[in-house]
Amino acid sequence: MSPAAAGAIGLPRHVAVIMDGNGRWAQRRALPRHLGHRAGAKAVRATVEGCARRGVEALTIFAFSSENWQRPQEEITRLMELFVESIDKEVDELHRNGIRVRFIGDLSRLRTGLAAKIAAAESRTAANQRMTLFIAVSYGGRWDIVEAARRLAARAVTGEIKPEAIDEALFADQLQLAGAPEPDLFIRTGGESRISNFLLWNLAYSELYFCDTLWPDFDDAALDAALRFYASRVRRFGLTDAQATR
Ligand code: FPP
């Protein structure tokens, strides 16, 4: 980010979200956890629409982390079923609304049926330009960085690049979100104040917003509150206040 852009504020170009609290939402209603995830899927739909309507360019949602593979098998199975079902149900509408869908993460760990649906959804919506929805599945920030390092190391070994040519821009080009604007606003629902191995590289200068709302309850008013928080921030990118607000 150039100093000239520092301090520019208003609507975030890119919003990244940890959707936490589905399990507790279900527990409070004496429902099984998977019904919390189902309610969470409805909040995803509303948030995608809300962001697109407001002119956000990119939205990244953390649907399943590298660590979530350690959850009980029953919950993993239900979540994977929900992803398949959601793709089946939502892709037409996303496409009609001009949303490009991209999945990030270690997709090699997914069942072939889900991987095929992901590939089809990505290619169907590839030309859409209104907003890009990045869905992080089997994703970990450390995994992303290690993969990038591995790819660059392989290119260095063959002599395609010199180690000293590796800089931040080249490194960022190897990451899962290569080419996307850096997330301006990070939102985590569910009351915890941590990043939990999400976009470790990309969140370097993001404004961090934590709220107690459980993800299934995250509605348009909650999105507005997060966007108001963002609009109230002065982004400095390492500059002084005076430089940033000039
Ligand atoms: C964290 O809440 C949420 C998840 C691990 C899954 C997120 C998935 C969805 C919102 C489902 C829909 C997604 C798509 C892309 C259709 P938690 O289970 O850790 O909640 P808890 O902290 O209350 O237990």
pLDDT tens for the chain, 246 residues: list them. Answer: 433 344 445 999 999 999 999 999 999 999 999 999 999 999 999 999 999 999 999 999 999 999 999 999 999 999 999 999 999 999 999 999 999 999 999 999 999 999 999 999 999 999 999 999 999 999 999 999 999 999 999 999 999 999 999 999 999 999 999 999 999 999 999 999 999 999 999 999 999 999 999 999 999 999 999 999 999 998 888 888 887 776
Cβ atoms of 205 and 237 within 8 Å: the answer is yes
pLDDT at 244: 77
On the CB side of 112, CA atoms within 13 Å amount to 0
pLDDT value at residue 73: 96
Rounded Cα distance between 68 and 27, Å, is 19
The atom of ligand 1 lying closest to the CA of 27 is 23
Q: How many residues does the chain have?
A: 246
pTM > 0.85: yes or no: yes
Structural domains present in the chain:
12-140+183-238 (3.40.1180.10)
pLDDT at 246: 64
| Side-chain-side CA neighbours of residue 75 (13 Å) | 14
* Atom number in ligand 1 closest to CA 192: 22
- Cα 188 → chain centroid: 11
pLDDT of residue 4: 35
In angstroms, rounded to a whole number, what is the distance separating the alpha carbons of residues 79 and 165? 42
> 59 C-alpha to center of ligand 1: Å?
16
Q: How far is CA 51 from the centre of its chain?
A: 13
Half-sphere exposure in the Cβ direction for 104 (13 Å, CA): 26
Active site residues: 20, 68
Structure confidence at residue 235 (pLDDT): 85
Distance CA 24, CA 79 (A): 16
The whole-number pLDDT of residue 219 equals: 98
Q: Is 211 in the pocket of ligand 1 (CB under 6 A)?
A: no
How much is the pLDDT for 242?
A: 80
